[in-house]
Amino acid sequence: MKELFVNIYRGRYILENMVVKDIKAKYAASLLGPFWLVATPLYQILLYTFLFSTILKVRFEDNSGTSSFVVYLLAGLIPWLFFAEATSRGISTFIENAHIIKKVKFPMEVCVASVIVSSAVTFCIYMIFYLAMLIFMGLLKFHTFPLFIIPFVIQVLMILGLSFGMGSIAVFFRDITQATGMILNLIFFVTPIVYPSSAIPERFRWFFSINPFYSIVEMYRNVLVRGEAPDAFSLIYPSVFALVIFVAGYYVFNKTKEAFKDIL
Amino acid sequence: MKDFAVETAGLTKEYHIYDHPLERLKELFLKRARHKVFRALGPIDIAVRRGEALGILGENGAGKSTFLKLAAGVIEPSEGRITVSGKVSSILELGTGFNPEFTGRENVLLNAALLGLSPKHINKRIGMIEKFTDIGEFFDMPVKTYSTGMYLRLAFSLAVHVDAEIVLIDEVLAVGDGAYEKKCIDKIWDLRRNGITLLYCSHSLYTVANFCDRAMWLKEGRVQAFGDTKEVISIYEDYLREKERVESTEMPPLSNSVMRKVAEVKDIRLFADGQPVETSVQYLSNIEVILDFEVFEDTDVYVGFAVDRNDGLCYYADSMHKQGLEPFHGPGRERLTLSFKNLPILGGAYKIVIFLLDETGICIYDRKESIIFKVDTKEKEWGVCYLHHEWKR
């Protein structure tokens, strides 16, 4: 863990350079620029709201209508978009930076870090909009909302683990990157993001309770809109899960990184 | 500060060859070996002094690039170690880590960061780099639109403007145009005057000879020669010539095995400044060739000689006919002394070939070669032999 931070610090200028360029490429280089920043999630919000709220009549809490659906949807969707973007890009980060890995000696950890930082910037922008919306609607729970940093850190740990672990394996075995999109899509639908956890049939409950993303999404909702602090189980389980993934992933990375230059 | 900029001890790089990348992944976690070993380099034990320029010679695949990559720290040695003290910048295999999608400027910024320069520091340098690259508006266009020459210019200006103490250059100057090449060479001289250490890898022996204090010849990953540039180049050139030896166009001696032998060379001895020659002679020494031969028939025999380089190139040939000398008349044993005053041949490996000829010069009765000897030159002159010249202004 310490090694990771030391290496990222050593590569801080590279990190800065990569992140700045990445954000520029994302928003400044395209024709409509920041329009996409808003358009992409807006499209998803409208689509899911129409599909699940208007057509399928999904309701999160008993008293609610469409506006409440959007509030709950976003509490899960924003963290999910962050996770999905960072993970899918993190897994192919070594392949994408092949040109420098092969030619220059530098701490390769920054390849993963830059992807996470860049995705986190988008996350923060969405989060600010979302919080503003909650304040406007008078729904924000002021006493618990700063706790959203807890599920965020757990997510980062998980992304680090997956990026290092799967990303290293992907160097040898490119098919991993192809499979990532599909797996992420599956996780998206088995996690109560576009539907409430109360909609899950009793006989599948056990499955959802072992899904760490379930705990994470619920944690976001609890601290942001329900005003509940995370309880011990919903905190410990995903934390341990993320920590195991991180340790394993970083181990795989350290074990294989010397071979990257020969393979890439 | 250490005296040596680069030091190696038993430095070895082996590549493991796998049938499939997956095999390699399995091996990292499982015990069983799944590879064939290919040794690209080593073991190598050398030390490069601070401020020194080392030329690295060798054919393709000899391990030159591997050595530079190890020095740059891009790859790790399989065995042994390499200690590099100082900041390294490098131009490896046409270009540093350039991303073709980024503009020249963005690539410079990224690579400067990779070399550990702070953004503040590099902002001061970017103007100089842009000016030195001298590719106009292409500097702000994606690198994928560059010609090879522009790409090299960018790589070169980057490598020489990042305050490195050790600069590694792998065969690049040859691709630029003449004027730009001159600019690069001037820049390297500048850096050398400022005390940087240079590891320079090139097929151009001429540039190596001019830039480098010492040279290393690598062959199949091993050091074949290491030391004074001129000496190493001379040894390497001998090797190249030997390898590319052109089949001699000389006429073979007439087959005398069926006929009776008319004449035979018994012995050729070489003396340089009165001393018997063993393996080498000094540049511009006085050479004497003492020749013993026997004529068996009642006939005229003329003597001819040729000075050949080891690749078969004839430097000079002459015979008694041309000088209007009287032939030897047999039968009988004869001795002849052939002397060269201040033999003007520059470095290389040579032999003297003696011919016994008939009166036409076409029929060769016998042919014999002297030992191969080398000429030692430490002079700065370049070429194959000394040409008498004077300067006037």
- Can you give the pLDDT at residue B349? 86
Average pLDDT over residues A215-227: 88
Distance CA A224, CA A218 (A): 10
Tokens of A124: 């923060």
Token pair of B198, please? 């240079």
Instruction: Say if residue B235's pLDDT is above 50.
Output: yes
CB B267 within 8 A of CB B292: yes
Q: B112-140: per-residue pLDDT in tens?
A: 888 778 888 888 888 888 998 888 889 99
Residues A70-105: tens digit of each pLDDT = 888 888 889 999 999 999 999 999 998 888 888 777
Confidence of residue A117 (pLDDT cuts 50, 70, 90): very high
On the question of pLDDT at B201 being above 90, the answer is no
Angle between helices A212-221 and A232-263 (to 10 degrees): 120
Is A190 exposed, middle or buried (CB count within 10 Å of its CB: 0-12, 13-18, 19+)?
middle
Decide if A200 contacts A217 (C-beta within 8 A).
no
Mean pLDDT score, B240-250: 63
Query: Residue A227 above 80 pLDDT?
Result: yes
Asked if B28 lies within 8 A of A255 by C-beta distance, the reply is: yes
Does B113 contact A103 at a Cβ distance shorter than 8 Å? no
pLDDT at A68: 77
Q: Is the pLDDT of residue A8 over 70?
A: yes
Q: Which neighbouring-strand residues pair with B385?
A: B345
B137: amino acid identity, one letter: E
Q: Given B15, B22, B111, which is nearest A172 (Cβ)?
A: B22
ipTM of the predicted assembly exceeds 0.90: no
Closest CA to B208 of B241, B162, B174, B239: B174
- Per the prediction, chain A carries an average pLDDT of 85
Q: What does the alpha-carbon distance between residue B158 and residue B133 come to, in Å, rounded to a whole number?
A: 8
* Chain B contact set for A262 (CB, 8 A): 15, 75
> Does pTM surpass 0.80?
no
> A-contacting residues of B 90-109, CB under 8 Å?
92-93, 95-100, 102, 106, 109
Taking only the tens place, the pLDDT of each residue in B58-67 is 888 888 888 9
Over range B290-304, report the average pLDDT.
90
Cα B375 from Cα B371, distance rounded (Å):
13
CA atoms within 13 A on the CB side of B69: 23
Residue B79 pLDDT > 80, yes or no? yes
The string of pLDDT tens digits covering residues B303-323 is 999 998 888 788 888 888 878
Percent of chain B's residues with pLDDT above 70? 92
Q: With CA atoms as reference, report the closest residue to B115 among A223, A263, A17, A113.
A: A17
3-class secondary structure per residue, chain A? CHHHHHHHHHCHHHHHHHHHHHHHHHHHCCCCCCHHHHHHHHHHHHHHHHHHHHHCCCCCCCCCCHHHHHHHHHHHHHHHHHHHHHHHHHHCHHHHCHHHHHHCCCCCHHHHHHHHHHHHHHHHHHHHHHHHHHHHHCCCCCCCHHHHHHHHHHHHHHHHHHHHHHHHHHHHCCHHHHHHHHHHHHHHHHCCCCCCHHHCCHHHHHHHHCCHHHHHHHHHHHHHHHCCCCCHHHHHHHHHHHHHHHHHHHHHHHHHHHHHHHHC
Q: What's the pLDDT band for B248 if we cut at 50, 70, 90? A: very low
CB pairs A-B closer than 8 Å: 70
Looking at chain A, which residue has its C-alpha nearest residue B96? A103
A136-146: pLDDT as tens digits: 888 888 888 88
B114 vs A13: CA distance, rounded Å? 7
Q: Per the CB < 8 Å rule, is B97 touching A17? A: no
Q: What is the pLDDT of residue A87?
A: 94
Would you call A13 an interface residue with chain B, using a CB distance cutoff of 8 Å?
A: yes
Out of A134-138, A248-252, B18-22, B41-45, pick the least confident.
B18-22
pLDDT band at B292 (very low <50, low <70, confident <90, very high): very high
Residue B115, strand partner residues: none
Partners of B268 in the β-ladder = B291
Q: Which two tokens stand for residue B197?
A: 């250490």
User: How far from B152 is each of A35, B146, B158, CA to CA, in Å?
Assistant: 38, 9, 10
pLDDT at B247: 44
Q: Which of the pair, B177 or A151, is modelled with greater confidence?
A: A151
User: Is-contact B326 B380, C-beta < 8 A?
Assistant: no
Restricting to A residues 152-211, those with a Cβ less than 8 Å away from any Cβ of B are 169, 171-173
Q: What are the pLDDT digits (tens) for A32-60? A: 667 777 777 788 888 888 887 778 777 77
